[in-house]
Amino acid sequence: MRGAIEFIVDGDEYSDDERLGIAAGLSITFRRVLVYAEPSAGALQAARNAVWGALLISPCPPELPCFGDVEAAADYSEAHLTPAGYRGPRPVTSRRRVSTFNKHYLRPWRWASGGENVTVGHYLLPLMACIYAAVRLLDAAPVVVSDVRLEPRAKPPPDYMVIPTWHAPGEIAEIVDVYLPPLKASAIALGMLAGGYRAGPVITVARARDRLVERVAELGGYAVVLDEPGDACRLLESRVVGYAPRRGTYEVDPLLCDRCGECLKSGCPALVPSPSGAPQILPACTGCGACAILCARGAIRQRAGA
Ligand code: SF4
Ligand code: SF4
């Protein structure tokens, strides 16, 4: 049935769950996709939260409605925001739409501040600061797809991953976050790139480097690999970087500070404005260095010898 399906994900290069992850990324960009895979129950459950276009799976998983007609299956999947099984002949693919993306507008750093859920200096906070510092001068809406949830130390945890980005300095970000374990973040990112997300960089935060991470970079995306050493602030120039934040003791030099307030966009509860307008670092600081990354004037520095 011509036009019902835009992409088919098939072959042995990736595992069944990885193929489903790629298909989920395509569906997130509002594409209509058919994947040939026998995914695990966990992956299938995660994919239920990633159906924004049409996501068909063949052979039909027993948990899903099963269709012999590809157009009916695609229409059902799209209308009900659920994967659908498909048992018909291999369809002809046809691109028929421009990709759009459902951006979530959320307040940044929900997980990092507020009430009992205060988390100071989360170990991914410097990564977020690097991403923000890299894109703040771009009119871009990055998408960060991560294998790691940003969990606060206290309960309850947030129900989504929060990545702050800004169109321009001083504005609340358009925040796009994708966290769908056990679907691999790099597989989802690959699908999103193939689906045509172009409003900003697609960044995957992966536990380890693998073929999917390499493919993300080849398709124009970016990757932070958590089990490798490296400087995440070099992300846009290097495409694939490791991540090795170091703790230190930080202080503010009020003579260098111009009161621009950029550092406060870290959302860190241990950094507050002082009466003079310069930020003040509170004793709760864990020394993650995220605020220093955001300060272009070098007014937040690691204390000598610390
Ligand atoms: S410490 Fe740096 S980023 Fe923060 S207000 Fe001062 S100059 Fe701006
Ligand atoms: S004050 Fe700065 S260095 Fe300390 S925890 Fe907050 S962001 Fe990290």
41-87 pLDDT per residue, tens: 999 999 998 888 899 999 999 999 999 999 999 999 999 999 999 99
Please check whether residue 47 lies inside any domain of the structure: yes
Please check whether residue 175 lies inside any domain of the structure: yes
Do 151 and 185 fall into the same domain?
yes
Do 207 and 254 fall into the same domain?
no
Do 209 and 130 fall into the same domain?
yes
Domain boundary among 51, 86, 121: 86
Please check whether residue 265 lies inside any domain of the structure: yes
Look at residue 169 in the predicted model and tell me its pLDDT: 27
Do 162 and 238 fall into the same domain?
yes
* Ligand 2 probe mutation, 291, 294, 300, 301, most atoms within 8 A of CB: 291
> Any idea which ligand is nearest the CA of 122?
2
* Domain extent for 44: 7-86
Tell me how far CA of residue 268 lies from CA of 30, 64, 119, 143, 217, in angstroms: 35, 43, 8, 22, 31
Please check whether residue 191 lies inside any domain of the structure: yes
Please check whether residue 38 lies inside any domain of the structure: yes
Q: Which pair of structure tokens corresponds to residue 230?
A: 């490296």
Do 23 and 66 fall into the same domain?
yes
By three-state DSSP, how is residue 271 classified? strand
Please check whether residue 105 lies inside any domain of the structure: no
Please check whether residue 152 lies inside any domain of the structure: yes
Which residue in 306, 275, 284 sits closest to 119, CA to CA? Answer: 284
Which residue in 186, 163, 152 sits closest to 21, CA to CA? Answer: 186
**Residues 6+ away with beta carbon under 8 Å from 12:** none
Nearest protein CA to atom 2 of ligand 1, as residue: 295
Say how far residue 87 (Cα) sits from the centre of its chain: 33
Q: Is 287 in the pocket of ligand 2 (CB under 6 A)?
A: yes
Look at residue 99 in the predicted model and tell me its pLDDT: 53
The total number of residues shown for the chain amounts to 306
- Supply the CATH number for residue 266's domain: 3.30.70.20
Nearest protein CA to atom 6 of ligand 1, as residue: 257
State pLDDT tens for residues 167-220. 332 322 334 567 788 999 999 999 999 998 877 788 899 999 999 999 999 999
Structurally, the chain folds into a number of domains equal to 3
Do strands 222-225 and 240-242 pair parallel, antiparallel, or not at all (unpaired)? parallel
Do 221 and 159 fall into the same domain?
yes
Global pTM?
Answer: 0.85
